[in-house]
Amino acid sequence: MTGWFQGTGDILNALMAGDSWMLSQAMNEPAAWPLGLAAMLALALVILVFYRLSPWAERNLEKTIMVVSYLAIGGIIFVEVFRRFALSQQVPWSTTLPPFLFLIMTYFGCSYNVKLRTHLAFAEFRNAMSRAGQMGGLMLDALLWIGFSWVVVVTSTKVAINSAANFQIMLGTDNVMQWWFLLSVPLAFTTLVARVIENVVIDIANFRSGETLITQAVIGGD
């Protein structure tokens, strides 16, 4: 194959072989982009089905991940600062694990804020637009989010695969691999895409029914 799909066979063969080094090389092929887009959208749809089957997860998945990550960061720092100054002891990974947990908390927080629509949206300006203009703006939002997430998912997946191929271990540990945490980035942005699709479905329904399209979002207002 040539063009955008050049290297599709190499990527699929590496996936079937389960060889991270082969996959890291194959991901440099142009086919990584269309295959990444297809995989991202397919997984986003799977997440939406999961939300449909589990209303609790639909309401609380990102919140739970953020709170658990935040408490873990705070707990590790508090305990290890006390141990350092009071006992002159400290586990080696106490300074390397919190940044990875912060990574998880931040990017799943992005997905949660897409759900709440609390990212910068210029709601006052959009309310002055016609109804068709408001709907066009919402669809443009969705396309931009999906395009941005596509770039992040593909590039961050490459980083995670390269980390696995080079057996990068979290500093301060003997066998905790960095790619376990790095995979949270493409997963978080795929979850974000699921929220974008969820919002699009709601927006289309509101447009057809005559409901308000642009509302003032409030952080924590869910």
Instruction: State how far the alpha carbon of 37 is from the alpha carbons of 13, 170, 171, 192, in Å.
Output: 18, 29, 32, 14
Look at residues 189, 172, 213 and name the one whose alpha carbon lies nearest to residue 103: 189
Q: What is the mean pLDDT of residues 121-127?
A: 77
Q: How confident is the model at residue 120 (pLDDT cuts 50, 70, 90)?
A: confident
The pTM of the full predicted model, rounded to 2 decimals, is 0.91
Residue 218 has pLDDT above 80, yes or no: no
Rounded distance, CA 104 to CA 34, Å?
Answer: 25
Residue at 107 is within a domain? yes
Q: What is the pLDDT of residue 183?
A: 96
Residue at 40 is within a domain? yes
Residue at 24 is within a domain? yes
Residue at 98 is within a domain? yes
Q: How confident is the model at residue 35 (pLDDT cuts 50, 70, 90)?
A: very high
Q: What is the mean pLDDT of residues 152-166?
A: 96
- Secondary structure of 23-53 as H, E, C letters: HHHHCCCCCHHHHHHHHHHHHHHHHHHHHHH
Residue at 215 is within a domain? no
Q: What total number of domains does the chain contain?
A: 1
Residue 220 has pLDDT above 80, yes or no: no
Task: Mean pLDDT check: name the lowest of 15-19, 98-102, 123-127, 176-180.
Answer: 123-127
Q: What is the mean pLDDT of residues 40-48?
A: 97
Residue 1 has pLDDT above 60, yes or no: no
Q: How confident is the model at residue 165 (pLDDT cuts 50, 70, 90)?
A: very high
Residue at 221 is within a domain? no
Rounded distance, CA 195 to CA 55, Å?
Answer: 14
Q: What is the mean pLDDT of residues 13-24?
A: 90
Residue at 123 is within a domain? yes
Q: What is the pLDDT of residue 217?
A: 67
Domain enclosing residue 165, as ranges: 3-209
Helical segments of the chain, H only: 8-17, 20-26, 32-53, 55-82, 97-116, 123-127, 131-165, 179-182, 184-209
Q: What is the mean pLDDT of residues 28-35?
A: 93
Q: What is the pLDDT of residue 128?
A: 80
pLDDT, the chain, mean? 91
Residue at 139 is within a domain? yes
Rounded distance, CA 190 to CA 40, Å?
Answer: 6
